[in-house]
Amino acid sequence: MKIGFIGLGIMGKPMSKNLLKAGYELLVYDVNEASMKEVASQGASIASSPQEVAENCKLILTMLPNSPHVRTVIAGDKGVLAGITPGSMVVDMSSIAPGVSKELCALLEAKGADMLDAPVSGGEPKAIDGTLSFMVGGKEDIFEKCKDILGKMGASVILCGSIGAGNTTKLANQIIVALNIAAMSEAFVLGKKAGVNPEAIYNAIRGGLAGSTVLDAKAPMVLEGNFKPGFRIELHIKDLANALETAKEVGVPLPLTSQIMEILQALKVDGKEMNDHCGIIEFYEKLAHIQARK
């Protein structure tokens, strides 16, 4: 089966390469020509538009920054809708607002196609090694048809419910991740100010109840002062904006999410929006006038 892959950014590029390594034939499109050429050098073919991708592939995967980008690629000029044929499937792996997933699914279904929303967690490192976690929304029979292909890019592929459920689950994931990093940051800065090495704190607590995947992924980066992005602060701002928007739609207060959003916005004002989200600690370090390094 020839697979269409649209969106070859930090995440999409290594994900597409993993599909090529698994033996799939890819037709790719991105606004960045250099990214397309890089993936083509490993065996992919290049399309001139999302429409061309849809005209030639029954399965189209998209990995894009946010809701407007997905809407443009699917419903815009020379978009997927212009070339889609009945029986085709679109799997949007972007992290977007659940309401937009539902909107675009309805447009695709009117053309006889199906859609899954399947955002991922794990950032660039797990995109590279093919161990992402997929949170999927959509029809169970369509999920079963796509599950093995998604499994070539991820270690976990879970159906969470109907269309939109994948992105709702991703929003929950992003809330938990951001608040975990903030809690770690508060704790490390407290320890450092009180005269305890943050590395010692990390090693002492990681095996107990406070231990987590987030802690093990981000604490070593913080201790080294390494804020090279695996997942940028600006993208976490985007995800939490979608979470707050969705919360308003369904009538749920998110007081802690609102607070961490203000912290992320403060970091953006300081020009740190391109840093990894473990850079949340720099907000606390600035308040306490101390760096929490090993």
Q: Catalogue the active-site residues.
A: 170
For 94-106, b/e burial (b = at least 16 CB within 10 A) is bbbbbbbbbbbbe
Nearest Cα to 121, choosing from 133, 104, 111, 113? 133
Bridge partners, residue 116, by sequence: 91
Q: Give me the amino acid identity at 127.
A: A
For 14-34, b/e burial (b = at least 16 CB within 10 A) is bbbbbbbeeebebbbbbeeee
- CA–CA separation, 25 vs 19, rounded Å? 8
Nearest Cα to 220, choosing from 288, 287, 276? 276
Q: How would DSSP label each residue in 153-200? A: TEEEEEEEESTTHHHHHHHHHHHHHHHHHHHHHHHHHHHHHTT--HHH
Nearest Cα to 273, choosing from 282, 213, 119, 8? 282
User: Among the residues of the chain, which ranges form H helices?
Assistant: 12-21, 33-40, 50-56, 67-75, 80-83, 98-109, 123-129, 140-151, 165-193, 198-205, 213-224, 233-250, 255-269, 281-288
Write down the residue that tokens 């053309």 correspond to: 111
